[in-house]
Structure 1
Amino acid sequence: MMTKPTVPGPDPHTRTPKFKLPPLACDAHTHIFGPGSKYPYVGSYIPPDAPLEDFVKLHKVLGIGRAVIVNASVHGTDNSVALDAIKVSEGRFRAVANLDGAITEKGLQELHDGGFRGCRFNFVRHLGGTPDMKVFHRIVDMVAALNWHIDLHFDAIDLPDYADLLAKLSVRYTIDHMGRVKAADGLDRLPFRTLIELMQRDEKCWVKVSGCERVTSMGPPFTDAVPFAKKICETAPDRVIWGTDWPHPNVKAMPNDGDLVDLIPLFAPDPAIQQKILVDNPARLFDFDSK
């Protein structure tokens, strides 16, 4: 018997955005959930199914050509939902894995051959907090040999405490959802200043201008998140990527993904910057052009 979902699903009526994405635009932070009957849910919350067919329909409406599937905590360290999606994507998908201390070099190579180019660590409190740091450092050393990056999910309040650790990493790293800063706090609070300082001084630091619906303090249409995304894009335009975060688990206000696309020209009005964050940067970070 299927367990009843504990979080709401995405808006099923995706609006066609006014902003036309460039060819090969990449949704560089998105998820596939289930179906639970095939890919069981084991995380701290139970989502409604958001399967591959819905994922493909969404991207067709939005005009997205490539995608990076971040294997979400609801599937634990079973990365098969993303592996299976990549197999049928004709080179349009890459993925970011969830790993634990049991991963072997052979297992890592199998993921690499399957289209994975990074692994994720959750530090956010509602998803379990700080990981085992011995395992963290061991995995960082392992993925470095494959030129992977690590994807890091923090609560904004904790980001300053990890700044020194991040600067000392031997691999590139991405910070999810603009560091989950709070728009009401403004641009001058320590967590956001820390994020910008990392981007300025550390060439390994990449940031995702995703999660406007998480950063917002005002709710839809989430425009109070725009100044944060704009500052990030201006700081290091060669190390910024964008994503929908579909199907938006654990948000206070469920966005329509068409509205999220229409925020892009507000925080990145220059077509040259749009090309970087939507096409060129994700192609480079996720090795899209390799066979």
Structure 2
Amino acid sequence: MHLLSPKSPGWLDWHPDPTVPSFRLPAGTVDTHCHVFGPQARFPFAPERKYTPCDGGKEQLFALRDHLGIRRNVVVQATCHGADNSAMVDAVRAAGDRARGVATVRPDVDAAELQALHSAGVRGVRFNFVRRLVNASPEDDLRAIAERIAPLGWHVVLYFESADLPALEGFFASLPTPLVVDHMGRPDVTQPVDGPEFSRFLRFVDANDVWVKVTCPERLSVTGPAALDGQRNAYTDVVPFGRRVVEEFGDRVLWGTDWPHPNLTDHMPDDGLLVDHIPHLAPTEEQQRRLLVDNPTRLYWPDEA
């Protein structure tokens, strides 16, 4: 029997009782950024992982989906599982047409494995450049992966920190696939929204037709989750950045929960409050529908768009 590993010290488990959101999600809403962790007894974590999480399997993910009023999920491979996509694929298959997947693959992935992933519902791969999560992201290997997935119509999901964009944007622009950026490129929200760092990110998005996830305010915020105005308006310092992206790139923005919220150290967010964050980023019904329904459907279920 597989010996279970204890959670990383100080690990914060996902919220056990999220509130019911005040904001009612439009029919067909897609959570385009969530994960599954294990369960470890069935889907062991990768030996090279940088953290050991709690279990957060498909049953808990689907229960949260239904609790929040979400229609569909895009399950993104978690780094704790490395390039073994079994847990992610199991969740996507179990959801039927209500889920798609984003995988992690190695440079030697062959056509048969890619086709099997495609048949299971995978539509992209993730390239991780966050140094605390991966040992290295060799560009030649990643370009080879991108060239192999391009004929399938897949995209590349990019996870990086804003300070590293100047060194990476040339490589990103050279990839032969559509690009999707996680968490707005993790901007420093203590800097001005019209300052040089975020302005450079916006120019990169504009020049390369990049899709952007306006996700994870709980990771970016300095002010935190306090809702002081009685309107469940949390993470207020992140709002100007998300709203700017929604206003400028309304046909290429996406939203997601990031459940089960890996590697948080300050607090575990209430997923109901994350839903109530949406109208602060996308105030109009048209913006909300594009963000939550139209855009993700076009990217992940193009036959329905």
RMSD: 1.3
Contact 2:139 2:171 in 1 (8 A): no
1:211 aligns with: 216
Contact 2:74 2:102 in 1 (8 A): yes
2:208 aligns with: 202
Distance 2:169 2:204 in 1: 7
How big is each residue's C-alpha offset from its partner over 1:246-286, in whole Å with a ceiling of 9 and x where there is no partner? 11111232111110100100110111111111011111111
Match status 1:54 vs 2:60: yes
Contact 2:13 2:54 in 1 (8 A): yes
Match status 1:160 vs 2:166: yes
Which residue of 254, 259, 262 maps to 1:246? 259
Distance 1:129 1:169 in 2: 21
Contact 1:160 1:190 in 2 (8 A): no
Structure 1 alignment gaps of length 5 or more: none
Could you state the TM-score of these two structures normalised by the residue count of structure 2?
0.92
Distance 1:186 1:261 in 2: 25
How big is each residue's C-alpha offset from its partner over 1:197-217, in whole Å with a ceiling of 9 and x where there is no partner? 1222222x1110001011111
Could you state the TM-score of these two structures normalised by the residue count of structure 1?
0.96
Percent identity of equivalent pairs:
39
2:228 aligns with: none
Match status 1:133 vs 2:135: no
Contact 2:12 2:267 in 1 (8 A): no
Distance 1:31 1:88 in 2: 14
Partner SS, residue 15 of structure 2:
coil
Residue 12 and residue 194 in structure 1: after superposition, are their counterparts in 2 closer, same or farther (change >3 A)? Answer: same
Partner SS, residue 53 of structure 1:
helix
Distance 1:129 1:188 in 2: 33
Contact 1:160 1:191 in 2 (8 A): no
2:6 aligns with: 4
Residue 288 (structure 1) shift: 5.7
Which residue of 26, 30, 34 maps to 2:30? 26
Contact 2:143 2:175 in 1 (8 A): no
Contact 1:122 1:129 in 2 (8 A): no
Instruction: Give the counterpart letter for 1:9 in structure 2.
Output: D
Match status 1:260 vs 2:274: yes
Match status 1:279 vs 2:279: no
Residue 130 (structure 1) shift: 4.1
Structure 2 alignment gaps of length 5 or more: 226-233
Partner SS, residue 12 of structure 2:
coil
1:237 aligns with: 250
The alignment of Structure 1 onto Structure 2 pairs a total of residues equal to: 289
Residue 132 (structure 1) shift: 1.8
2:107 aligns with: 101
Distance 2:5 2:112 in 1: 34
